[in-house]
């Protein structure tokens, strides 16, 4: 099925970004929001983005005009009736999404694919709100959608194979890299990335180092941002809510346990850049530099902290592969192209050595005696057989 007409539900940052991607790819797009003021904000934001691209020489005026003409702004859901594909990008609330999907299904054709951009909610639960759940699928973009290369495609239990194929082909035609993920909490990125935040928070709470020092150590590993900088950028309300959601969805597995330190920031409304206060202080979203001498860590201490964070990420990726959440290539692509990790975690494991990974995890478990440090069976099995993930 060829997708020509696309309906986007929600004219916030994410919905507007998806609309730009689809319009750039040549689709006719209708961007819906009940809030007409928000539609105006979205239209002005697109003008600003495209004008900047013209100034940089990345597109010309004709291309700018073509993209803008491909998008119309509507405030009635009925206007999406002729869509081949609809993508919902509204509040992360399951009941709200179900209500919207049930209403939408009465308006669109029987062949229209109905997708959600949810980052962590069950696609299967959303699909259950439809009379034809087989048409429902997850299509998860990353912010900002026009720039981030990765899109996770998540079939529900009920999703027809033809719908999955259509979604994958469409998103590839839009110039994105697709990672197909099983419908489990957090899909790929929001599951595998949890230790990046949780282990950094744990090391802070243990007093191993302060916030700027940990961020600096992580940047030295090749990450563009340290975990505390990134949490401030995402927003603690959003990041903490995802952690809580994944923790509950995995039946309170200790690997995903939220941090009281982050909860206190949410309670104080210190949400990061958006509120000008988080782990750092900001002025209109711009980070204020602080007088800070990195804590005096020995080389061994610094390396131990870096190794601990890395091996926890590798363990999560290995477990996702062990549980068939996604293929190895998709798992690594998801982390490098979805959240800009310097290397794919499974390739990184090969580089460090699977045996090294197991030794690190066993040492952490022996010290803490907590299940959060249990080694993935896949890692342990590959170490015993002297196998790797990718190398021949």
* Region of residue 26 (phi > 0: left; psi between -120 and 50: alpha; otherwise: beta): left
Q: Is the dihedral of CA 119, 182, 333, 386 positive or negative?
A: positive
The whole-angstrom separation of Cα 296 and Cα 315 is 29
Active site residue: 70, 140, 316, 376, which one?
140
Length of the chain equals 392
Active site residue 119: yes
Q: Locate tokens 């990790």: which residue?
A: 341
Active site residue 190: yes
- In 3D space, the residue among 383, 363, 361, 384 whose CA is nearest the CA of residue 374 turns out to be 361
The whole-angstrom separation of Cα 310 and Cα 333 is 17
Give the single-character DSSP code of 277.
Answer: B
Tokens of 127: 């699909």
The whole-angstrom separation of Cα 180 and Cα 302 is 36
- Cα of first residue to Cα of last residue in the chain, in angstroms, is 38
- In 3D space, the residue among 383, 320, 335, 331 whose CA is nearest the CA of residue 357 turns out to be 383
Active site residue 259: no
Tokens of 263: 């909860």
Q: Locate tokens 């060829």: which residue?
A: 2
Residue spans of alpha helices (H) in the chain: 13-24, 36-55, 61-69, 94-105, 123-127, 161-173, 189-192, 194-205, 211-220, 227-234, 236-249, 260-267, 299-322, 328-338, 345-352, 354-368, 377-384
The whole-angstrom separation of Cα 49 and Cα 23 is 14
The whole-angstrom separation of Cα 33 and Cα 91 is 12
- In 3D space, the residue among 76, 92, 86 whose CA is nearest the CA of residue 29 turns out to be 86
Active site residue: 42, 116, 119, 376, which one?
119
**1, exposed or middle or buried, with CB in 10 Å at 0-12, 13-18, 19+?**
middle
Please check whether residue 331 is in contact with residue 317, taking contact to mean a CB–CB distance below 8 angstroms: yes
Active site residue 152: yes
Active site residue: 105, 152, 229, 316, which one?
152
Q: On the CB side of 356, how many CA atoms lie within 13 Å of its CA? A: 13
Which residues on neighbouring strands pair with residue 153, listed in sequence order?
139, 180
- In 3D space, the residue among 377, 387, 391, 304 whose CA is nearest the CA of residue 344 turns out to be 391
Active site residue: 42, 116, 129, 190, which one?
190
Q: Which positions are annotated as active-site residues?
A: 119, 140, 152, 190
């Amino acid at each position: 099925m060829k997708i020509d007409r696309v309906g986007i539900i929600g004219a916030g940052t994410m919905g507007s970004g998806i609309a730009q991607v689809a319009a750039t790819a040549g689709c006719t797009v209708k961007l819906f929001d009940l809030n007409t003021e928000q539609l105006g904000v979205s239209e002005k934001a697109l003008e600003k983005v495209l004008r900047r691209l013209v100034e940089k020489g990345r597109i010309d005026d004709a291309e700018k005009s073509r993209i803008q003409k491909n998008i119309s702004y509507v405030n009635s859901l009925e206007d999406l009736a002729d869509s081949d594909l609809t993508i919902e990008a509204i509040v992360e609330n399951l009941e709200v999404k179900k209500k919207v999907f049930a209403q939408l299904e009465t308006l669109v054709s029987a062949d229209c694919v109905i997708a959600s951009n949810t980052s962590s909610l069950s696609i299967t639960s959303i699909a259950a709100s439809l009379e034809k759940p087989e048409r429902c699928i997850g299509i998860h973009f990353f912010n900002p959608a026009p720039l981030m290369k990765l899109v996770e495609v998540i079939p529900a239990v009920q999703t027809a194979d033809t719908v999955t194929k259509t979604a994958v082909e469409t998103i590839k035609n839009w110039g994105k890299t697709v990672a197909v993920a099983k419908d489990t909490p957090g899909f790929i990125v929001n599951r595998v990335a949890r230790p990046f935040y949780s282990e950094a928070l744990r090391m802070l709470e243990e007093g191993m180092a302060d916030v700027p020092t940990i961020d600096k150590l992580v940047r030295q590993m090749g990450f563009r941002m340290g975990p505390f900088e990134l949490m401030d950028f995402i927003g603690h309300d959003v990041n903490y809510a995802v952690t809580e959601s994944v923790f509950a969805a995995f039946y309170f597995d200790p690997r995903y346990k939220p941090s009281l330190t982050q909860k206190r920031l949410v309670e104080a409304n210190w949400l990061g850049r958006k509120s000008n206060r988080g782990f750092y202080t900001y002025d209109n979203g711009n980070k204020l530099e602080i007088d800070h001498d990195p804590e005096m860590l020995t080389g061994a201490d610094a390396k131990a902290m870096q190794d601990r964070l890395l091996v926890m990420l590798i363990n999560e990726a290995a477990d996702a592969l062990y549980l068939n959440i996604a293929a190895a290539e998709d798992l690594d692509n998801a982390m490098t192209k979805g959240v800009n990790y310097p290397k794919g975690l499974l390739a990184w494991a090969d580089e460090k050595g699977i045996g090294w990974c197991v030794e690190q995890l066993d040492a952490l478990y022996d010290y803490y005696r907590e299940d959060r440090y249990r080694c993935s069976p896949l890692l342990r099995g590959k170490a015993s057989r002297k196998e790797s993930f990718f190398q021949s």
